[in-house]
Chain A
Amino acid sequence: MKDVNSVNHLVEFLPSIERRRAAGIKERNKNKEIQDKAHEDSIISKLASKQDLLYGKKSFFLMGEEGGNAIPQVRALSEFSYSVEVPRLSVIDAVGFSEMITVFRVEKKALK
């Protein structure tokens, strides 16, 4: 990490604004694809209806009770996420990393 931090001041290799923008658009499109696919394949989305909240951080809804009474409810939204680390080698040595993965895949397990 010491070596990695030692180059923090180098600005000479930074991609230009246009390139960063293009990479940003690519990442945004990729994220959208992931979201669409996740929604499409989600079991929950098949069971429940979907409402898109555009504002606020709490949701108001009427909960039906026996006898036809509706009780107002406010529920705070909660967030859950899942993340994985992207291997650094896929960025700094894309082909070498792909070669390594391929070798691991085709290698036979050693017999015990």
Chain B
Amino acid sequence: MKIILKEYLGSLRERGDLDALVLPNLLSEIGLRVLNTPMLGTRQNGVDIAAVGRIKGEDETRYLYLFCIKAGNVSRRDWSTGVQAVRQELDEIRDVYLRSNVAREHADLPVKICLCCGGELEETVIVNWAGYSDRNTTEKISYEEWNGDRLADLMMRCLLAREILDEEPRRNFQKAVAMVNEPDACYEYAGAFLRCLLLGECGSRREQLLRLRQSFICLHAVMAWSVEADNLESSYRVSELGVLLCWDLIRGIEQKKALNKHENSLILIFDQFLRLYLAAAEMYLEKTAYSHSDKLHALSLAVRSREAVDVNLAMFELLGRMAVQGIWACLLSRSSEVDKIGVARPLKDRADRILDTMVSVINSNPTLCSPIRDDHMIEVALVLYFAQLTEAEPRFLPWLKGMADRTTFALISNSQYPICLTDYSDLLMHPASTEQSYLDEVCSGSVLYPYLYFWMQYISDEKEIKEFTARLKIKIPDCTYQAWFPDEDSDDLIWRGETYHGICVTDLSPLYGHEKLMETLSQAFQVCTAISEISAVKIGLIPLFLTACRHYRLPVPPNFWFLRV
């Protein structure tokens, strides 16, 4: 376990990983109170993190801890070259920070200045460090080296010790790390340890925070290993699961102006989970879609399978992830908080980039015109929702129209038409028969066709609509066309992956015409109002709800089908 943690800490190369995500959580757990975390662009006078308190099991008195943080190993060059050289920063702490930045209530405390790195001090620097710390140590100021080994030790002792982390989640965490190259297995083990930590009963507020921090550190370690192995599929999936389960734990916080300290800590940790997820998604898209979207068939061929179903599933998965990421970027860019810190513009640019990439991906990978699973309606609806948010729906309407034609053509030609079965072996053998009984079984219900039909009223001519409904009438006359709305139980269940909740609205058959469909929907809107009771929707985090729908394969409710009437 310690070796895993050491390797993980050593692999944290980016600024922000060690100092903004890992260390503050660790310090809080070992008994220190974090006074400030690093900010980009502000003068820090050498101190990346300041904390005050007594480390459990080590300190007998309170100290003011000042951390100078470097990612990876500290080499000779890090020690003395450049503006951010370690030596210069240590001098600044002594000469500037201690003279002008220490609050009055901490002024009398003894000070520990810690050189902290994820890896270790290289041999060429050890002598310099020893000389420096020896020369500058006084009665009040002492120096400590916090390398990867010490951090791993502290993690083992205070975050992941056997007394506070059971054997089962510990084993599952180790397996998840070992299986980062097999995303299904990694997801399964990561899901097991996250569920074990986050879905169990929390005895106290303290325990709630501890579990969230344990989960975050473990999740971050899995992600770091996944990035190291250059397989970003695992990191995407586990980080998405993490953010949903974290929300499940903290969603009870009431909306009010002044949050208490515990609630603030919870929000801060959720923010870290969310940042981790969005960063994982961006890395994943950078490697896949952004780099290869404009190359005809390239992404489809990257599936490296002889089965059309594999290509279809992989491309719709990619499309759904892009749409969700786009929705996050778009809605976050409109948040007033984001506007204050000046990242609204980059987020807006990101949304635009995703939009362009999505169009390229659809054009370069024609399998995206013929979904094989009925629940690919989720991806289609997410794309259209994102397109509407950015007022770019005209760019996607031809694709939607083509899909309506292709799916029903596949029905009449017994090709790979959408089916409501989700088991891979069923999809692999599909179409297993030309018999009507097979058709009736695999198309017993549909959420895709009502959605397509809903849009066809705005984009297709009468002839195309007639042909669409006629094909459905001939081939699947007994299909139950439907849509899903959340109910009052949904908020308790959706975040943890339960799918047995919600209200299924039927009578949405395209065979009855558009007016009937709209009438049924309009009545359903009046009766099925629980969407506004979903915790994330209530506070404006609609993307989180849509992320849950995609992750756990629940249809996008009609509330998000059409934004402008």
Residues of A participating in the B interface, judged by any CB pair closer than 8 Å: 3-4, 6-20, 22-23, 26-27, 86, 88, 90-96, 98-99, 102
Contacts and interface: CB of A to CB of B under 8 A. Distances in A.
A108 B282 CA distance: 50
A93 B367 contact: yes
A13 B299 contact: yes
- Most A C-beta atoms less than 10 A away, residue of B301, B365, B406, B407: B301
Interface in B255-301: 284, 287-288, 292, 295-301
A81 B94 CA distance: 80
A102 B413 contact: yes
Contact of A15 (B231, B303, B367): B303
A16 B429 CA distance: 17
Given A12-B233, A92-B367, A99 B303 contact: no
Nearest to B411: A95
Contacts of A3: 292, 295-298
B308 interface: yes
Contacts of B310: 15, 19, 23
Interface residues of B, number: 48
For chain B, what secondary structure do more than half of its interface residues adopt (helix, strand, loop), or is it mixed?
helix
A30 to B, nearest CB: 11
Contacts of A92: 297, 300-301, 308, 311, 365-367
A92 to B, nearest CB: 4
Contacts of A98: 410, 413, 415
Contacts of A96: 366-367, 369-370, 406
Contacts, number: 126
Nearest to A86: B306
Interface string B298-317: 11111111111011101000
A23 B413 contact: no
Nearest to B297: A92
Given A7-B299, A92-B301, A96-B369, A26 B428 contact: yes
Interface in B162-188: 181-184
Contact of A13 (B314, B415, B416, B417): B314
B367 A13 contact: no
A90 B301 contact: no
A99 B409 contact: yes
A102 B407 CA distance: 15
A99 B306 CA distance: 19
B366 A11 contact: no
Given A6-B292, A23-B307, A17 B184 contact: yes
Contacts of A90: 308
Contacts of B537: none
Given A18-B424, A19-B310, A96-B370, 14 more contacts: A12-B232, A15-B303, A15-B307, A16-B184, A20-B305, A23-B305, A27-B306, A90-B308, A92-B365, A93-B366, A94-B415, A96-B366, A96-B406, A99-B409
B317 to A, nearest CB: 8
A4 B301 CA distance: 7
Given A12-B233, A22-B424, A94 B416 contact: yes
Contacts of A26: 307, 428-429
Contacts of B429: 26
Contacts of A88: 297, 301
A33 B407 CA distance: 30
B406 A7 contact: no
A96 B233 CA distance: 28
Contact of B406 (A9, A14, A22, A99): A99
B298 A6 contact: yes
Given A92-B311, A92-B367, A94-B367, A14 B301 contact: no
B523 interface: no
Nearest to A16: B184
Contacts of A102: 413
Contact of A10 (B288, B305, B366): B288
B230 interface: yes
Given A92-B297, A93-B367, A13 B413 contact: no
B526 interface: no
B55 interface: no
Contact of A94 (B230, B233, B296, B308): B308
A104 B343 CA distance: 53
B428 A4 contact: no
Contacts of A7: 292, 295, 298-299, 301-302
A3 B428 CA distance: 28
A-B pairs, 8 with minimum CB distance: A95-B370, A3-B295, A94-B308, A7-B302, A93-B366, A92-B300, A10-B302, A98-B415
B536 interface: no
A95 to B, nearest CB: 4
A44 B310 CA distance: 39
Contacts of A22: 424-425, 428
